[in-house]
Each structure stands twice: as C-alpha cells, then as structure tokens.
Copies of this chain bind each other. A is one copy, B any other.
Amino acid sequence: MAAGRAADGRGSKDAPTAARRERSSASAPAGAPGRGRRLAGRPRPVIEAVRPQVEGGRYPAKASLGELVVVEADVFADGHDELFVELTHRPGDHGAGATVAMTPLPDDRWRGTFAVEALGRHHFSIRAGVDHFATWRHDVAARAAAGQDVTVELEVGAGLVKAAARKAGPEDRPRLAALAEQLVRAPRGLESEVDATLARDLGAAGPSGAAPSLHDLLDAPGLAGLMARNRPPGPVAVSPDLTVRVERERARFGAWYELFPRSTVTPDVPGTLAGVVSRLDDVVRMGFDVVYLPPIHPIGVTSRKGRDGVPTAGPDDPGSPWAIGLGRGGHTAVHPDLGTIEDLDRLVAAARDRGLDIALDLAFQCSPDHPWVADHPEWFVHRPDGSIRYAENPPKRYEDIFPLNFDTPAWPELWEALRAVVEFWIGHGITVFRVDNPHTKPFAFWEWLIATVSDDHPEVIFLSEAFTRPKVMKRLAKLGFSQSYTYFAWRQGSAELEAYMSELVHTDVADYLRANLWPNTPDILTEELQTGGPPAFLCRLVLAATLGANYGIYGPPFELVEHVPRSAGSEEYKDSEKYAVRHWDLERPDSLAEFVARVNRIRRENPALHRDATLRFHHVDNPQLLCYSKTFLVEEPRYYGAGPAHAPRDPNTVLVVVNLDHRFVQSGWLQLDLGRLGLDPGQPFVVHDLLTDAHYRWADNPHYVQLDPDVVPAHIFRVHRPDDPAAPGGPR
C-alpha cells in the first residue's frame, strides 16, 4: 500500500542509490560518509495499510459531520522495541492540527480516532518512532521479576530520564530530575521506596496504601505522559498526508422519495411545482428527508417519444423529461406547464420549512430543440451528412436525445457551461443533485465539477446514477460522488444480499462509496416486484430502509404497489410516467403509505440505523430468512456520533429479521453474535418489535422466529439490555 512508501521510504531508498552512485565514481571511498549525512536519523518503524485511504491518497476518503473518523494502520519495526504511534489531524487546508496517541490492536495494527465537526477537507497523517523509555521500562520490570540485579539498568533508565529533563520545560523538569534521582538512588532496586511527593505528583499508589515503590512509580499513570511530552528528538517515520472530505449528515443518512411533478395532477389541479408543494405534507407524513424530482425543464418536440416510449408521440404526449430543451429553454429553465422559477423557489422554501431537501436531476444531454444545439453546435458530434449524432447504443436509438461531445476542442467552455447550470440551481437553494448516467461522461469532468463546486458549496450532495459495471461505478464514487445507486434492486436471497452488503460495508469500498438503496426507480420494476405482490414491496422496503442508511423509493408507484411491466421480461413500467401523466389515487385503502411511515419513523428514532458501518449478519438455519443488526455503541470500532462525535448518550441496537419468501410462512432459529449486539452471554435481554410493538425476553442462543408474509414479513427489533430503563414492560 502506498502509505508504506513514504513511511520508511525516504531514507531506505537513498542508501542503495547513494551507494551505487558512490561506487560508480572512482575517486570516492566506500561512500559511507556521503551516505552518513544522507541517512542520519533513519526511522526504524514502518507505516503501512492506512485506512481510511482511497488509492494511496489519490482521492479523499468520505466522512460526514459529527463522525468519529477511525484511523488504522500497520505499524511495526525490527526487533522487540516498544513504539510510540501518533495520529495528527487538521481540519481544512490551513487549520491548526491536533495529535493523539494511537493504541495497539492485535497483529501490529494500531488505531486512533478524531472527530470532524466542520465541512470540507480534513487532513491526517501518522508518526511513529521507537519509544526507548517504554522499552526500558518493560525490560527492567521483566528482569526484576526474574530476580535479576537491575542496578545498572536503573542507571540506564536514569540516563533516559535526564535526556527528557534536558528537553523539558520548567513545568516538567523538576519532576524528571527527581525521578532520575530516584533511579540512581535505589538500594533495593524496583522495591526501593520512593519520594512521596513525586509519587503523588505522578499518581503512583503503593499496594493497599503501603508507601509506593519504584515499581509502583514506573506504573504510575502520570509517568507515560510526562515522558511522552518530553521525548528527545529522534528518527520518526511519517505516513503520507491523507485526506477525508466531510459532508453534511444527509450524505450519510437520508430517505429519498422520487416523484414526477406533472403527475401531482388532481381532478381539478394540473401537475405543477405548486402541486408538489401540496404533496409535501404527505411526504413528511411518510417520513422522507429528500424529495427528488426528475428534470423539470422544457421538453423537446423533435422525435419526442410517445406513451410507453414508442418512437412517435401523439399530439398530447408530454414526452420524456430527460429530453431536455425547447426554444430558448434549456437546463436552467422550468417547463412552462410546471410553472415558473418563482414556483421552484416557493417549493424549495416550503420544503426547507418542513426539513426536506429538494433534489434536482442533472441530465447532461439535450433534445434536438435545446438552445445549445443552435448556439453551440461545436458541443455536439456532427456526421458527414451534416446531421447531429443522436444517442445510440447500437442498434438501440434514442432520437429524442443528443449527447454532448466531451471530446470537442471547445470542452473548456462546455465544462464551464455545465458548471454554470449547477451553480444556477444552487443559487435557487438546491443542494442535492441526482446525476443521470454519469458513467457516459468523462471521469475527469466529474472530478473537476464536484471538486470545484464543493470547494465553494461544501453542503452540496451528488448522487451518482451509474447502473453500469462495478469498477466504473466504484470509480465515480472514488472521484467524489457523495452517494451511489447500487445493484441492491437485483440482489435476492440471503446469500446474495449478505455478500453484496458485506462488500459495500466491510471492505475498503466503505472508505469511498456510500450506498443508496432503491427497491424501484422509473427505469426499474424488478421481476420480484412484478410477481411478489404487496409482501414483496414490504420486504424490499424493510431491506432497503434498514440495510441502508441511505435509501429511496419511486412513488406513488411504490406505495400503490404498481407492478405491471410494459411487456413480459421488461423492467419498464406499463404506462410509465417517463412518457405519460398519471393520476394517482393516494387515498387507496391498500396503499402502503402507513407502513412506509412507520419504517421511516423507526429509522429516525434509532441512531443505529443512521449509519452502515456497524451492519453485521447473524446466522439463521433457514436461507429464506435474513437476520442482521446495526449498533450505536461506544465500543464499536467504526462507531459514528450522530451529533458531535462523543459517546452516544443512549446506546442503540437494532436487530432485523426478514422473510425473503413472499408466498409462505417461514420460521427458523437465530444464532446471534451477542458480542456484536453489545450483550453479555448468559444475560437475558429484551427485544421489542418496533413494527408490531410485541416484545420478548431472550437469553443466549438460539432464538425461534416465524414470519408470515401476508401479515408482516419482517421483525425490526430494538434490543434492550436488561438494565436499560427504556426497555418495555415485563415479558409475555
């Protein structure tokens, strides 16, 4: 890993090079002196495999406001000496840094943490060196314990303390001098009684009130800090400077609701941005955080697609919102049927009043009628016959869309124009963007756009809609997208779901990719939803909302269990809103809105569900059942603070069991990893089903569960320690 490179590289690489150079110059001697200067102060420790890290620091890792960033690295040296390992972190590019000691884990791994409480870039690096005093202290204790004479060793220790005293300020110097004194004047070795004042100063305590001995003094809590503060200069290995980019909490935790403004139509009101305002209270009632609108711009007429995407539109067909641009209206215009820019401003304000974000769609492509086609023909690909190349994936054709030509020599103007589009909407209060097909535009463009925009507007969130190959999807996340759509919609069965979520959460992917889980989108009506009935919708909702801190649904089709495809084998909706205005009866008694609301309320009330890092799967003896937990515990290594990063005021553990079979009752035995749940084996505990309000008293393993898809296909348990005051009443 690249961290290792600079870690011990600087010196190490010199030596051979220098040696070669000097041997090749006949006049020079063996060359040691020359190398001597070059290599003086070579550090012995190695720092490797630093996390979080994206391609050796090529990209910033991701963090969010209030998060406690957990830094780990392999740090080790030759021999048996003890090391000191420090984590230095610095908010922003010029902020003042702070340094904390890292603590050893098994297998030469070290861990340190720092809180991030400002948006933007934070830098961190690791320093490591040999801790001669700690090494001496460990060895002298071992020798004494073996009954060896340590007189001379105590002199050695005194020498180390004196060296520290020479470096120390007036505050510490007297104590260090006194300590050195004690070490040379120790008639009975470590058993020798020590000066009471010094012992008190360093917090040394003798066994059961007896006068503290030198042995006690060396174990005194105050001693390590005293010596660390006054460590004499010595060779230190330093990792490269690494970066985390801190975004607001919404980047890490949020429930999205996608709706087509033009379908907010009611018998008397046409679908408009004003209509969206009238839907907001609904959306709030359902508990969502982000309302995402497909493109709201004028729609081209040339080659406009008709209902169900047929090549030719009828006179009343509204066309696809992704065929952007008509007349003078392009990416910064509002479709006249939807209203005006002022209506958009009113919508944004109304949403803000309700604590909602409005997310707009960035679809960087044009209809043949987009003003840029006439104003900037150089931004498009022209064929020999003079025509402009429309979008194709041969033999598929999308005549209603002209892709932009990022290979144009005029690309700098194109890049700036696209950035201006983003800045325009930011100017109107939009801080969340869902980006359409980013994988069909150059990586370098996105890296530049996101870096440039977030330097000025660190609050802006970009969601990548790249349903493409895994490595392309990951690259977009690495280069800066805040969140990414995933393959979740197509992952079925307990093995597939566990493997996929584990890859996202427990590999280095977690350093750069934040998953946003969608059971459906206007382009994706999975076969499972087509055939599984309401139980499939409930199941996929619970999975998305509890496996993912970020998730979203495309409604009203989702809560109204819309499940008919355009044709057999297609994932397109019949009468898709992409090409038609739909009238939705939100009052339908079979609407899942209430269930959605309940699940979102559970999400909000349980901080364990506000992050993905603590996701763990538990064994069930029935593959039709999936069992997993998320925790919000101080001990949790990847624990994230909800607000400012401190120990949670109220530890929180959620255990979910889902029946993946939409037709039959399934039951099985859970084998819980109690440690992961913050429980002590043997201790009984209470699980409270937040969906049904039932609660049970459990202890140890295994536990029987049974789920009927036609009632509720899942348990979402809050797990209470027996001593938890918030635990519900007695057992059933």
A159: interface (CB < 8 Å):
yes
Q: Which of B9, B385, B441 contacts A78 (CB 8 A)?
A: B441
Q: Are A148 and B395 in contact (CB under 8 A)?
A: yes
CB-CB under 8 A from A148, the residues of chain B are 395
Contact present for B452 and A412 (CB under 8 Å): no
Nearest Cβ distance between residue A236 and chain B, in whole angstroms? Answer: 14
- Given contact pairs A55-B2, A56-B2, A107 touches B448 in the complex (Cβ within 8 A): no
Q: Check A469 against B384 for contact (C-beta < 8 Å).
A: no
A155 interfacial contact with B, CB 8 Å: yes
**How would residues 411 to 424 of chain A score, 1 for a CB under 8 Å from any chain B CB and 0 otherwise?**
11101100000000
Segment 12-39 of A: residues with Cβ below 8 Å from B = 12-13, 15-16, 19-20, 30, 32-33, 35-36, 39
In the complex with contacts A2-B2, A444-B39, A471-B74 CB distance below 8 A: yes
CA A140 – CA B383 in complex, angstroms? Answer: 14
Q: Which residues does chain B contribute within 8 Å of A139, judged by CB atoms? A: 392, 394
Asked if A94 lies at the interface with its beta carbon under 8 angstroms from chain B, I say no
Are A452 and B55 CB-contacts (below 8 A) given A79-B439, A139-B392, A475-B76?
A: no
What CA separation (Å) do A221 and B634 show in the bound complex? 64
Q: Tell yes or no: A156 within 8 A of B by CB.
A: yes
Contact A108 B469 (CB under 8 A): yes
Question: A682 near B: Cβ within 8 Å?
Answer: no
- C-alpha gap A77/B39 in the complex (Å): 43
Chain B binder among A40-48, A356-364, A592-600: A40-48
Residues of B within 8 Å of A412, CB to CB, are 32-33, 35-36, 39
Task: Tell me the bound Cα distance from A4 to B443 in angstroms.
Answer: 12
Contacting residues of chain A (573-626) with chain B, CB-CB under 8 angstroms: none
Interface residues of A in 230-284 (CB under 8 A from B): none
The reply to whether B385 and A152 contact each other, CB–CB distance below 8 Å, is yes
Tell me the interface secondary structure of chain A in the complex.
helix
User: Judging by beta carbons under 8 Å apart, are B19 and A448 in contact?
Assistant: yes
From B2, B79, B395, B469, contact of A142 by CB (8 A): B395
**Residue contact B30 to A440, C-beta cutoff 8 Å:** no
User: Looking at the complex, which one of B11, B383, B469 makes contact with A107 (CB distance below 8 Å)?
Assistant: B469
Q: How long is the Cα–Cα vector from A8 to B152 in the complex, in angstroms?
A: 60
**Residue in B closest to A234 when the chains form the complex, CB atoms:** B407
B contact residues around A13 at 8 Å (CB) = 447
A58 x B4 contact (CB < 8 A): yes
Flag whether A105 is at the interface (Cβ < 8 A): no
Residue contact B443 to A44, C-beta cutoff 8 Å: yes
Rounded to whole angstroms, the CA-CA distance of A32 and B420 in the bound complex is: 13
Which one of B9, B33, B471 lies within 8 Å of A58 (CB-CB)?
B9
Q: Is A146 at the interface (CB under 8 A from chain B)?
A: yes
Contact across chains for A42 and B442 when beta carbons are under 8 A apart: yes
In the complex, the chain B residue whose C-beta lies closest to that of A386 is B152
Partner of A395, one of B8, B76, B143: B143
> Is A393 an interface residue, CB under 8 A from the partner?
yes
Most buried by B among A19, A35, A412: A412
Q: A100 at interface (Cβ–Cβ under 8 A)?
A: no
Which A residues, 124 to 183, have Cβ-Cβ distances below 8 Å to chain B? 138-140, 142-143, 145-146, 148, 152, 155-156, 159
Chain B residues contacting A56 (CB-CB under 8 Å) are: 1-2, 5, 56
Knowing A39-B412, A107-B471, say if A146 contacts B394 (CB, 8 Å): yes
Q: Which of A19, A78, A138, A385 is the most central at the interface, judged by chain B CB atoms within 10 Å of its CB? A: A78
0 or 1 for each of A459-472: is its CB under 8 Å from B? (1 = yes)? 00000000001111
Partner of A471, one of B55, B108, B155: B108
In the complex, A496 has a CB within 8 A of chain B: no
What distance in Å separates the Cβ of A394 from its nearest Cβ neighbour in chain B?
A: 4
A414: nearest chain-B partner, CB-CB: B32
* Residue A451, interface by CB 8 Å: yes
Most central of A4, A12, A13, A383 by chain B CB within 10 Å: A12
Q: How far is the CA of A544 from the CA of B412 in the complex (A)?
A: 62
Question: B78 contacts A20, CB within 8 Å?
Answer: no
Q: Is A191 an interface residue (CB 8 A)?
A: no
In the complex where A1-B56, A58-B9 touch, is A15 in contact with B152 (Cβ < 8 A)? no
B39 near A152: Cβ-Cβ < 8 Å: no
Among A9, A33, A139, A442, which residue has the most Cβ atoms of chain B within 10 A? A442
Asked if residues A443 and B152 are in contact (CB atoms below 8 Å), the reply is no
Is A693 close to B, CB under 8 A? no
Q: How far is A605 from B4 in the complex, measured between Cα atoms in Å? A: 41
A649 at the interface (CB under 8 A from B): no
Contact residues in B for A680 (Cβ distance below 8 Å): none
Given the complex of chains A and B, what is the CA–CA distance between A337 and B597 in angstroms?
Answer: 90
Bound complex: CA A315 to CA B387 (Å): 102
A710 within 8 A of B: no
- Would you call A12 and B448 a contact (CB within 8 A)? yes
User: Is A724 in contact with chain B by the CB < 8 A criterion?
Assistant: no
CB distance from A659 to the nearest CB of B (A): 32
- Neighbouring B residues of A142 by C-beta, 8 Å: 394-395
A440 cross-chain contacts in B, Cβ below 8 A: 78-80
With contacts A42-B444, A55-B5, A146-B395 known, is A439 near B78, CB below 8 A?
Answer: yes
Contact B143 A394 (CB under 8 A): yes
Is B80 within 8 A of A393, CB to CB?
A: yes
A636 is an interface residue with CB less than 8 A from chain B:
no
Q: Is residue A523 contacting chain B, with contact meaning CB distance below 8 A?
A: no
Which of B33, B393, B416, B475 contacts A46 (CB under 8 A)? B475
Task: Given A55-B2, A80-B393, A443-B46, check contact A16 B452 (CB 8 Å).
Answer: yes
Instruction: Show the binding face of A for B, using Cβ within 8 Å.
Output: 1-2, 4-5, 8-9, 11-13, 15-16, 19-20, 30, 32-33, 35-36, 39, 42, 44, 46, 48, 55-56, 58, 74, 76-80, 107-108, 138-140, 142-143, 145-146, 148, 152, 155-156, 159, 383-385, 387, 392-395, 411-413, 415-416, 439-444, 447-448, 451-452, 455, 469-472, 475, 479
With A15-B452, A138-B394 given, name 13 new contacts (CB 8 A).
A2-B55, A11-B444, A13-B447, A15-B415, A15-B451, A16-B448, A32-B413, A36-B411, A42-B442, A78-B441, A78-B472, A107-B470, A143-B395
Which 3 A/B pairs are nearest by Cβ-Cβ distance? A32-B412, A146-B395, A15-B448
A-B contact pairs, 12 of them (CB 8 A): A4-B58, A15-B447, A15-B451, A16-B455, A30-B416, A44-B442, A79-B439, A139-B392, A139-B394, A142-B395, A146-B394, A146-B395
